[in-house]
Structure 1
C-alpha cells in the first residue's frame, strides 16, 4: 500500500472513531436518562402513594440493581456481538420497562417491578466502553472512555427535564416521549454506528470467558475502585432529589435543578479525569478522587446551609467522583488486554452500579430513624478514605505485567 493510501486509511479510521464515539455517547446519555426516570419524581410518587422514607429509597434504588448486575452479561455479549448490535438492542429493549413505569404510577408494587426492569437501560455502559475502546490506541483510551463516560449526563437531563415534562404533559405522556426517543436512537445507532475495523468477535463460550475474567486480580481491584467512584455518583444522582426535598425543604423541580447541576459537574469531570490520566497517570487521578470525596462527605455531614455552602460542597463532591470515574477506566484501559475489556468492564460496571444501590437504602433508613443523613455521609467518608489508602498501596509498585492478561 502506498504512503498516500495508508495516510488516507488512517484518516478514515480517525473520522470513524469520532463519529462512533459521538453515537455511543449519545445512546449512553439517553439510556441513562431512561434509567433515572424514577428518582427525579420521588416526591410525586411519595405524595401519590403515601410512601415513607424507607419505601421511597427502595423504589429509587431498585432500577440500579438490574442496571448493575445486568452489565456482566452485557459486557460478555458485547465481546461476542459487538457494540453496534448491543447498543441498538439496549435502546430498543429499554422501551418496554420505560412504558411499564409510565403505566404503573398508581401502584407501589407495580412500580417496583417495572423499576426493577428499568435497570436494563443502565447496562448500556458495559456495552459502550469496549465499543469505543476498540476505536482508539492505548495512548488515547483515557480520552475516549472519558468522553463516552460523559454520557452519564443523561442523569442530569433526567433530573432537570423529567419533573418539568411531567408537570407540563403528565406522567404517562412523558414516558411515551422517552419511548419514542429510545426508538429513534436505536434506529440511528443501527444505521450509522460501526464496530472498529480491528475488532473481532470473541468465539469463546460465555461462561469460560466470564470465569477467566473473574480470575484476574485487576477485575476485582478495579471493581472496588469503581464501586466508590461511580457508585457514589449513581447514589447521589438517584437519591439527591429526595435528600434535598427532605433535608432542605425544596420543591421537586428545584431539587431536580440542583441535582442536574451535580450531575453536570460530574459529567464535565469524567472526561477531564480520562484526559488527566493520559497526562499524569490514572493513579494520581484516582487518589485525588477518593481523598477529595472523603473530605467533602465529612463537610456535607454537617448539613451546611443551602445555596453557596451546600451548593459548593455538592459540586465539589461531584467533581471528585467524576474525576474518579474517568481515572478508573483509564486504568482499566492500561491494564487489561483489549480482547478482555468487555468482560472486565461488565464486572467493574456491575460493581459500580451496586455501589450506587446500597447508599440510598442506608440514607433512607438513616433519615427515618434519626431525621438527618449524618451517619450515612460519614460512612461514605470512611469508605472513600479506606479505598484511597488501598489504591495507594495496591498500585504504587505493582507492575503492569502482574495484572494484564497475556495477549493471544
Structure 2
C-alpha cells in the first residue's frame, strides 16, 4: 500500500472502529432505555439493575490487559475481531433469555468482551494510522461512542419492545463484526510491528510507567461518573421527576448528543492551552459542578439546557486523556496496546464497581446518587495533577 493509499485508508479504519464502538455502546445502553420494562420482568431493584447494566464493564477486568498485550504482539485486527465474535454471541443470547436474570448477566458480560479489546487497542489502532492527529481521531471515536449511547436511549420510542430492540442490535453487531474482519488492516505500511520485541517486555514498559497508572486513575473516576449518570438518568427522570418513558429517553439522549460535540471540541480546545494538565483540571471542576447543578431543577424546561451543558462539558476529558498514552515518551505507539490494556482494565473495573457502590450508598435517593456521582467526577483532578508533561 503506497503512502497515498495509506492516507486514504486510515478513514476506513476509523470508520470501522467507530461502527464497533457505536454498536458496543448501543447494545449496553439499551438496557438503560428499557429499564422500566426489564426491572419488573427480571424482578430486580436498582442495585440489581446496576449490576446488569454494568456487566459489560466487568469483562474488562479479565481481558483488557491480555487484549492489549496481544494487540502489541499480533496487531489489533485479529484480537478485536475474535472478541467481537464473542460479543455477537452474547447479543443473540440476550435475545433468547429475556426472562432470566442470570442468563442476562452472562449475555451482558459476553457483550463487553468486544469493547474490552477495542478500547484496550484504541490508542494503538488510531495512533499508528493518524500519528500526530491521533487526538482528532480519538475525539471522533468518542463522539460516535456517545452517539451510540444517545441512539440507545432514544430507541425505546422507536422500538417499544425490549425483545425486538435486542434483535435489531444483535443483527447489526453481527454485520459490523464481519465488516471489521474483512476490511480492517492492522497498521500503516510505514509502521509495522517489530517482531523482535516480546509481549512481556511491552507490558513491563507500560506497567513501569507512573503516567500510565495516573491516567488510568483519572479516566477511572471520570468515566465511572459519566457512565453512572447516563445509566441511571432515564429511570431517574421517569421515577423522580415524573416524566414519561418517551420524554425521559429523549432527554437522556439529548444529553448524550451534547456529549458528541464535547468529544469533537475537546482536542481543539485543549490545543489552545499551554498545559494539558491545566485544561483537564479545569474540566474536572467545571464538569462536576455542572453535573450536580443539572439535577437540581424540578421543571423539565430548566432541565433541558443544564443537561445539554452537562453532556458538553463532561465529555471534554475522555478524548484528551485516552489519546495521551501515544504521546508519553516511554510508551509511544509501540507499547500503546499494553498501556491501553492497563488503562482499560482499571477504568472499566471502576465503571463497574463505583456506580454499584454509589447506588448502594444512595439507597434509592436520586439526589444523593447525583451528589456522589459529581464528587466521583471531581476526584479525577487528583491524579491529573501529578501527571508529567506530555509531548504533542
Mapped contact 2:283–2:316 kept (Cα < 8 A): yes
- Measured in 1, the distance between the counterparts of 2:138 and 2:307 equals 24
Matched, 1:133 2:121: no
**Is 2:16 aligned against 1:23?**
yes
For the pair 1:333 / 2:326, whether they are aligned, the reply is yes
How do 1:9-408 residues align onto structure 2 when only pairs under 5 Å count? Answer: 9-67=2-60, 69-123=62-116, 124-138=118-132, 140-152=133-145, 153-161=147-155, 163-164=156-157, 166-167=159-160, 170-194=161-185, 195-201=187-193, 203=195, 204-280=197-273, 281-300=275-294, 303-335=296-328, 336-367=331-362, 369=363, 371-392=364-385, 394-395=386-387, 398-400=388-390
Number of matched residues? 385
Partner residue in 2 for 1:4: none
Q: 1:243 to 1:351 in 2, by over 3 A?
A: farther
Look up the SS of the partner of 2:335 in the other structure.
helix
Contact 1:300 1:377 in 2 (8 A): no
Aligned-residue offset at 1:61:
2.2
Point out where structure 1 has 5 or more consecutive residues left out of the alignment: 1-7
Could you tell me whether the CA contact under 8 Å between 1:232 and 1:321 is conserved in 2? no
SS in 1 for 2:98: coil
Gaps of 5+ in 2: none
Structure 2 length as normaliser, TM-score? 0.88
* Aligned CA distance change for structure 1 residues 374 and 173 (closer, same or farther; 3 Å): closer
Q: Structure 1 runs of 4+ off > 6 angstroms?
A: none
CA offsets 1:230-270 (integer angstroms, 9 cap, x no match): 22222222222232222223333322222211222222211
Kept in 2: contact 1:24–1:87 (CA 8 A): no
Structure 1 pair 51–35 and aligned structure 2 pair: CA distance change class (3 A): closer
> 2-side partners of 1:252 and 1:69: how far apart?
35
Partner of 1:314: helix, strand, or coil? helix
TM-score by length of 1: 0.85
Tell me how far apart the structure 2 counterparts of residues 52 and 101 of structure 1 sit (CA, whole Å): 19
